[in-house]
Amino acid sequence: MEIIRKDESTWIIEDTGVRVFILKGKEKTAVIDTGMNLKDLKDIVSGLTDQPLILLNTHADRDHIGCNDEFDEVSIGIHELQHYQKNGFSQKITALYENDEIDLGERKLIVVDLSGHTPGSIGFYDPDRKILISGDPIQKDGRVYMFGEQRSLTGYIASLERLQKRKDDFKEIWPSHALLPLDSGSIGKCLEDAKDICRGALDYERTEMHGMTVRAYKGKENIYLCDDR
Ligand SMILES: [Zn+2]
């Protein structure tokens, strides 16, 4: 595990290939995702701040919710609830909607719809810093999981189209995996890749993932793991 201090009130915890983001306001601190193999995340965060913590999730894939059971409450995208509840956590769940604002005290985060990778994938936009915390949908030199029932390549394209129209809002994009930071040019490159997959313009190799045969498409920006059909 490595804790990287990005500024006086922003940290990234890197562990086994996935990130946790700690964003401190004047009154509260947001914990975005809880990693995969971390233990005692709350203890780790208490070394950075003694403020009350708010747990936010970009989405409910297993590598992002490893320490969620340490928290009594979680906020997650409205369309992610079903996917999240499969995990059997018993805490209070608050649904987040596009453009919802999370007030940390003189620092706010705005919810951005990034559905497609999962039904309710969301990002968190810090407008003062012009940073988008993007979860898995936007990466560079990463692997974007797009196989299995709950994922939608066309939904992913629609989300990226919406985001591309406002790309100048984002000075930096901070994904959960692979390179960080990205510039907003990655949005258009991921979008082109996804469209190329849809129209059969990208080469792929078949590979085994979690007992399934999937297609690994080699795009300009990432490898995209898609259903074999
Ligand atoms: Zn992930």
pLDDT in tens, 153-166: 999 999 999 999 99
Q: What average pLDDT does this structure show over 122-138?
A: 98
Q: Kindly report the CA angle at 85 between 159 and 11, in degrees rounded to 5?
A: 60
Distance between Cα 117 and ligand 1 center (Å): 10
Using the mean position of ligand 1's atoms as its centre, give its distance from the Cα of residue 59 in Å. 8
What is the pLDDT at residue 52?
98
- Summary mean pLDDT of the chain: 97
Is the confidence at residue 197, as pLDDT, over 90?
A: yes
pLDDT for the residue numbered 210: 86
Rounded Cα distance, 165 and 19, in Å: 27
Ligand 1 centroid, distance to 30 Cα (angstroms): 19
Query: Mean pLDDT across the stretch 102-127?
Result: 98
Mean pLDDT of 26-35: 98
pLDDT of residue 87: 85
Distance CA 143, CA 164 (A): 20
Picking from 1, 77, 82, 98, the residue whose alpha carbon sits closest to that of residue 32 is: 77
Interatomic CA distance for residues 82 and 139, integer angstroms: 25
Kindly give the distance from the C-alpha atom of residue 19 to the centroid of ligand 1, in angstroms, as a whole number.
9
- When pLDDT is averaged across residues 113-127 and rounded to a whole number, the result is 98
**Per-residue pLDDT, 180:** 98
pLDDT tens column, 40-96: 999 999 999 999 999 999 999 999 999 999 999 999 999 999 999 988 888 999 999
Nearest in space to 112 (alpha carbons), one of 6, 34, 184, 25: 184
Contact 67, 41 (CB under 8 A): yes
* pLDDT, position 229: 85
- Ligand 1 midpoint to CA 222 (Å): 14
Ligand 1 centroid – CA 39 distance (Å): 18
pLDDT of 212 > 90? The answer is: yes
Find the 177 Cα to ligand 1 centroid distance in Å.
7
Q: According to CATH, what is the number of the domain 2-227?
A: 3.60.15.10
pLDDT of residue 13: 98
- Residue 14: the pLDDT is 98
Percent pLDDT > 90 in the chain is: 96
- CA of 42 relative to ligand 1 center, distance in Å: 20
Task: Report the pLDDT value the prediction gives residue 8, as an integer from 0 to 100.
Answer: 97
What pLDDT is stored for residue 74 in this prediction? 98
Over residues 188-210, mean pLDDT: 96
What's the CA-to-centroid distance between 33 and ligand 1, angstroms? Answer: 10
Cβ atoms of 112 and 124 within 8 Å: the answer is yes
d(CA 167, CA 187): 8
Under 8 Å between Cβ of 91 and 84: no
Ligand 1 centroid – CA 128 distance (Å): 26
